Amino acid sequence: MDLPLPGLPGNHQLINAGAAIAALLALEDAEFPQPAIAHGLTHVNWPGRLQKLDKGALCRPLNTGSELWLDGGHNPAAGRVLAAALADMEERHPKPLFLICGMLANKDAAGFLENFQGLATAVHTVPVPGEASGLPADRLAATARKLGFQSIAHDNAATAIAIIQNERPDHDVRIVICGSLYLAGAILKQSDYIPR
């Protein structure tokens, strides 16, 4: 099939698209014409997965050329593909990368974060709002420091974003909020990307 590239950022989405197309084609009693598959590929929307945030209160402290991204990946494999996508962005459009990370306590925080060694300038940590099983931000920051990152804990993502940009007022930065689908959901609600 001669199909367009997926509308989602990251080379890993080629693999995901291939798996989805293979599943469609394996269905016995369903027909999916190539134009319909092409439309699906180019119009796909996956909130919280390498999603660029460009409106709302969280974006206000940012310089015009700074970027804010959101990804709900929370395990080592997700960290690998996210780091690869960010390394590709860095190669094409270099900007200092800062992670704002919040995770649940039952996740492999070190396994997730180690993928960003040599890529992220610093890891700012936050609690996952409303999650009793969330990893405390100070413990996550300690994990990041053990991996060699500069890391500081914050009460919330809005504070972290403002601090990151305020420390570099004359520089554009790339900030990625990551580590939890629960955190991603809370950020999307704050940003008015989904109904409350």
Domain residues for the domain of 27 are 12-43
Of 6, 168, 180, 20, the residue nearest 95 (C-alpha): 168
Q: List all residues 6 or more positions away from 170 whose beta carbon is below 8 Å from its beta carbon.
A: none
Could you give the C-alpha distances from 117 to 18, 71, 76, 133, 152, in angstroms and in order? 29, 18, 13, 26, 16
Helix (H, G, I), strand (E, B) or coil at 178: strand
One domain for residues 83 and 27: no
One domain for residues 38 and 64: no
Q: CA-to-CA distance for 52 and 9, rounded, in angstroms?
A: 10
Q: CATH number of the domain at 119, please.
A: 3.90.190.20
Q: Which DSSP symbol is given to 170? A: T
pLDDT digits (tens), the chain, 196 positions: 888 888 777 777 778 888 888 998 899 888 888 888 888 888 888 788 899 999 889 999 999 999 999 999 999 999 999 999 999 999 999 999 999 999 999 999 999 999 999 999 999 999 999 999 999 999 999 999 999 999 999 999 999 999 999 999 999 999 999 999 999 999 999 887 654 3
Q: Which two tokens stand for residue 164?
A: 């990151």
One domain for residues 86 and 39: no
Q: Which two tokens stand for residue 161?
A: 């974003």
Q: Whole-structure pTM over 0.75, yes or no?
A: yes
Helix (H, G, I), strand (E, B) or coil at 86: helix
Q: Where are the beta strands (DSSP E) in 20-149?
A: 51-53, 67-71, 97-101, 120-125
Q: Are 58 and 158 in contact (CB under 8 A)?
A: yes
Of 117, 114, 155, the residue nearest 138 (C-alpha): 155
Domain count within the chain: 2
One domain for residues 39 and 114: no
